[in-house]
A and B are shown apart, each in its own frame.
Chain A
Amino acid sequence: ETGVTQSPTHLIKTRGQQVTLRCSSQSGHNTVSWYQQALGQGPQFIFQYYREEENGRGNFPPRFSGLQFPNYSSELNVNALELDDSALYLCASSLEAGGLQYFGPGTRLTVL
């Protein structure tokens, strides 16, 4: 167990809806990174939050947005869901940006 938790475990949405995924970082970690992992692919970097500010973003459209709270937990929001958004969403926490990352169990999102 890494001490990183994510909720919910599974989620089913329909195209066009909005979704919020949550992540609690490991105690003492101030950085959270979010990844999208499609079946058979490696995790794709969405963005990173460091001390409540976005600290880097991958090649994802603006309908993917996030937030980090003072306790360093984080949310990933996806608007206008598309079928291709179906994936495992992973968050990883680290002591500092660029440090060792420890993953949560992930949220499996299915868009119908």
Chain B
Amino acid sequence: QKEVEQNSGPLSVPEGAIASLNCTYSDRGSQSFFWYRQYSGKSPELIMFIYSNGDKEDGRFTAQLNKASQYVSLLIRDSQPSDSATYLCAPEIPGNRDDKIIFGKGTRLHILP
């Protein structure tokens, strides 16, 4: 069973619209969740993290977490061409002494000018 599932896309969204990126995870023990943005040929960049159920907003980004459904999402409001990138969902997988972060394959987002 895959630990982190994301739609690979590409997800095409018109400029100015809301982009919605979804992620499901398998480990019910996960408590921390991270979203990274990765431009082509570059390394991942941390853009959001969320620990509690509900919504967390930071500028144009909103992360949503539902631990009962094992679901986390990222909304990008007023999408800009510069938002075109791959977005990686990364839950923390708890261990006895080795908490580690596992990445999904990512969703490619394309903002249409």
* Residues in chain A within 8 A of chain B (CB atoms): 33, 35, 40-45, 48, 55-56, 58, 88, 90, 97-98, 100-106
- Encoded as 1 (CB less than 8 Å from any A CB) or 0, chain B from 31 to 52 comes to 0101010000011111001000
A98 and B92 in contact (CB under 8 A), knowing A48-B100, A103-B43, A103-B44?
yes
A33 touches B100 (CB 8 A): yes
- Encoded as 1 (CB less than 8 Å from any A CB) or 0, chain B from 67 to 95 comes to 00000000000000000000010001011
CA distance A58 to B102 in the complex (A): 10
The smallest beta-carbon distance between A80 and chain B, in angstroms, is 25
B43 touches A106 (CB 8 A): yes
A55 touches B44 (CB 8 A): no
The secondary structure that dominates the B interface is loop
B106 touches A42 (CB 8 A): yes
**What chain B residues lie within 8 Å of A102 (beta carbons)?**
46
* Residues in chain B within 8 A of chain A (CB atoms): 4, 32, 34, 36, 42-46, 49, 88, 92, 94-95, 97-106
Determine which of A35, A43, A48, A98 lies in contact with B32 in the assembled complex, contact meaning CB atoms within 8 Å.
A98
The smallest beta-carbon distance between A107 and chain B, in angstroms, is 10
**What chain B residues lie within 8 Å of A106 (beta carbons)?**
42-43
The smallest beta-carbon distance between B30 and chain A, in angstroms, is 11
Residue of B nearest to A41 (CB): B105
Closest 9 interchain pairs by CB? A56-B98, A98-B99, A42-B103, A103-B43, A42-B105, A106-B43, A43-B103, A55-B98, A56-B100
